[in-house]
Amino acid sequence: MLRTTSSPRLGPFEHRLLEEVWARGNVTVRELLADGTISQAYTTVMTTMDRLYKKGLLDRAAEGRAFRYKARVTQAELQRNAAMDGIARLLESSSASSRPLSYLVEAVSAHDAELLNELQILIERKRRELKDKVESRRVQGGEQA
Amino acid sequence: MFVLREIAISLTFFVLLYCCLSLAVVFGWRRLKMLRLSQKSLADILFLARILPMLGSVSFTCAFVIPSFQLLEPRGIDEDTGILPVALGVTAIVLIALGCYRVFQAQISTARIVAEWLADAQPHQSGSYTVCSRPDVPPLTLVGLRNPRVLISDLTVGLLTEDEMGTALRHERAHISSCDNLKKLILQFCPFPSMAQLESAWAEATELAADDAAVSDANDAVDLAAALVKLSRLVPIRSAPICTMGFVTGSLGLRVARLLAWNGTWRQSPSFPAWATVCMLLSAVTVLVFTYGPALVITHEITELLIR
């Protein structure tokens, strides 16, 4: 578990590298570059990994002349900390404590409504598919008769 | 003095075993989710895991601790019980009292809220559900332990088609046949920290099992998914009481996605085989019969250690 409550800000490439480390468990810079999924230069990757280490997100152990890195936090922990930071900032943004909370509820409701609309579309599509299937079976049956 | 010592020792054993089994369940229950079983079997196994600490510790205390003390403890000797058994005995009494309080509280609060909902309710002419017109009634919910019934808000009646209502009612009937409200009440009697995730996994498995039971073809699956999405738009004014089973609970996205992917294969997911249960029970009884005497002696030796 990450001890600090504040979550460090991450750039897109830092995030990408962190995801690679989560996926592989532990890794050296050379191993990250070996399969070609990361096209940046060795020094760029090395500097970014070093920055992630200094931000407290990676641990490292010397392995020959290089370092082997592994994550200090899980993906869920990082997401949780980011969410907690966001919510804390939101709550501090207004002197009236109920106002930011109402924005949060509004945003969640809008998100929920969007999800429900998407699910509704999927259901209607499935209904049409089933109806078409029945129709085509009926036509085939009629032709055979 | 003998009886007091017996009670203290029994309660001590009970609470120690309850805590050990609970910790084992807290750390080990996630492995159960990896079993490739039907949702019904998974729900049953998760429920069994949740009540195992209470069931196991009560059974062990009644089957081993009390008989071993009765048979092997000399009555004439006046021994001191010791601080530890007394302290643990008090802890056990607090634990049992807390369980009783939670059950009582859940029952009372559920009965009060349901009585409010039923104040101006009308049974539907089909007799399969009761229509409530109060605005705080959840869209569709199952209430009651001995005579469970389905309550439906009047908004729901207008919102669902006949087919959608049919599948939604079959979903609730599946909860009735699994006695899920009663199981929720039983869970209240087994308090232990960090069990919330297991309880929520059980709740999710019961919903999926009820979905499985309500659906017999692709059209049913789509009707149930449509009913779920429609009723999700009706936001309940207050949270539902403990001993009720709401229709719109669990992960909506997962349930709808599952229903839309229905291809008749749910029923092929293996259930926990009955013969395996019978074999396990028979083996347990056989082992118990042949090892009961030595087990009593060992139990009594442990009680002696506890007293000293």
Q: Is 90 exceeded by the pLDDT of residue B17?
A: yes
pLDDT band at B235 (very low <50, low <70, confident <90, very high): low
Are B255 and B208 in contact by the 8 Å Cβ rule? The answer is yes
pLDDT of residue A37: 79
Beta strand A66-71 with A58-63 is antiparallel
- What contacts B45, CB < 8 A, 6 or more positions away? B32, B35, B37, B272
Mean pLDDT of chain B: 88
pLDDT of residue B250: 74
A122/B260 CB distance under 8 A: yes
Q: What is the mean pLDDT of residues B211-219?
A: 91
Q: In this complex, is the C-beta atom of A121 within 8 Å of any C-beta atom belonging to chain B?
A: no
Asked if the interface predicted TM-score (ipTM) of this complex is over 0.85, the answer is: no
Highest mean pLDDT among A25-39, B67-81, B190-204: B190-204
Highest mean pLDDT among A78-92, B110-124, B260-274: B110-124
pLDDT of residue A2: 38
Q: Which residue in A113, A116, A126 is closest to B260 by CB distance?
A: A126
Are A32 and A45 in contact by the 8 Å Cβ rule? The answer is yes
Q: Is 80 exceeded by the pLDDT of residue B218?
A: yes
Q: Is 70 exceeded by the pLDDT of residue A110?
A: no
Cβ-based contacts under 8 A for chains A and B: 32
B222/A126 CB distance under 8 A: yes
- Both tokens assigned to B102: 């939670």
Residue A9 backbone phi and psi in degrees, to 5? -75, 140
Q: Is 50 exceeded by the pLDDT of residue B92?
A: yes
Are B47 and B272 in contact by the 8 Å Cβ rule? The answer is no
- CA-closest candidate to residue A67, choices A40, A104, A20, A32: A32
pLDDT tens digits for B152-201?
998 898 899 999 999 999 999 999 999 999 999 999 999 999 899 999 99
Using a CB cutoff of 8 Å and minimum separation of 24, what contacts does B25-30 make? B25/B49, B25/B50, B25/B52, B25/B53, B25/B195, B25/B198, B26/B192, B26/B194, B26/B195, B26/B198, B29/B198, B29/B201
The full set of domain ranges for chain B reads 2-307
Element (H, E) at B130: strand B130-132
pLDDT tens digits for B243-276?
888 888 778 888 888 898 887 765 556 667 778 8
Q: Which residue in A112, A113, A123 is closest to B225 by CB distance?
A: A123
CA distance A33 to chain B (A): 34
Q: Rounded CA gap, B237 and B137, in Å? A: 8
Residue B247 backbone phi and psi in degrees, to 5? -75, -40
Q: In this complex, is the C-beta atom of A110 within 8 Å of any C-beta atom belonging to chain B?
A: no
Q: What strands lie across the sheet with B244-246, from one edge to the other?
A: B122-123, B130-132, B149-153, B140-143, B244-246
Mean pLDDT of chain A: 82
